[in-house]
């Protein structure tokens, strides 16, 4: 599956899109050694990126021609996300939507189905410029406000 936009950092981390429809998302991720912290578990920043992307994808899944930008995000870490080469899955959900905002949540699960981290987030829907529809790597997306 395609994320609908070229996102270099997501590509670098190796995220794979598994679900992108109906206000829901699922993203797979197997952390590499360079994604770990000094305790040999997945770095909190990598987990927060995974949660951010899962929520954004869930928000975009109901209107795929729009982009979203993060307005705010809160994350709770319940248990370490393993760094032993086992896969993680983030599941996102659109909880509520207005014309311009999406209210979302996402949870990261380890290979045993245990919740490792949970986030809530608010995103603003933005239109992409026609020239950015393909989102070439050398021309980053610049959100255009629809207000």
CATH number at residue 21: 3.10.129.10
How many angstroms from the chain centroid is the CA of residue 19?
12
Q: Which residues contact 25 (CB under 8 A, 6 or more apart)?
A: 17, 19, 54, 55, 57, 58, 61, 90, 91, 92, 93, 106
Residue 1 forms part of a structural domain? no
The pLDDT of residue 131: 53
**Would you say the C-alpha torsion 48, 50, 54, 60 has a positive or negative sign?**
positive
Give dist(CA 105, CA 31) in Å, integer.
Answer: 21
Residue 111 forms part of a structural domain? yes
**DSSP bridge partners of 31:** none
Residue 29 forms part of a structural domain? yes
The pLDDT of residue 11: 94
Lowest model confidence (mean pLDDT) among 58-62, 83-87, 118-122, 139-143: 139-143
Backbone angles phi, psi at 144, to 5 degrees: -115, 120
Q: Which domain holds residue 108?
A: 8-131
Residue 26 forms part of a structural domain? yes
Q: By CB neighbour count within 10 A (0-12 exposed, 13-18 middle, 19+ buried), where does 125 fall? A: buried
Residue whose C-alpha is closest to residue 9's, from 61, 45, 58, 62: 45
Per-residue pLDDT of 36-83, as tens digits, reads 999 999 999 999 999 999 999 999 999 999 999 999 999 999 999 999
Residue 119 forms part of a structural domain? yes
**How many structural domains is the chain composed of?**
1
Residue 3 forms part of a structural domain? no
Residue 139 forms part of a structural domain? no
Lowest model confidence (mean pLDDT) among 17-31, 64-78, 126-140: 126-140
Residue 142 forms part of a structural domain? no
């Amino acid at each position: 599956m395609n994320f609908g936009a070229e996102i270099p950092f997501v590509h670098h981390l190796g995220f794979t899109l598994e679900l992108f429809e109906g206000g829901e998302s699922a993203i797979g991720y197997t952390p590499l050694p360079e994604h770990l912290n000094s305790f040999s578990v997945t770095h909190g920043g990598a987990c927060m990126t995974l949660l951010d992307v899962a929520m954004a994808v869930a928000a975009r899944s109901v209107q795929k021609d729009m982009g979203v930008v993060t307005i705010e995000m809160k994350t709770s870490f319940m248990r370490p996300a393993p760094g032993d080469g086992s896969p993680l899955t983030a599941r996102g959900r659109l909880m509520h939507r207005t014309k311009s905002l999406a209210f979302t949540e996402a949870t990261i699960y380890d290979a045993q189905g245990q919740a490792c981290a949970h986030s809530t987030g608010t995103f603003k829907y933005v239109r992409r410029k026609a020239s950015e529809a393909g989102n070439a790597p050398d021309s980053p997306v610049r959100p255009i406000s629809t207000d």
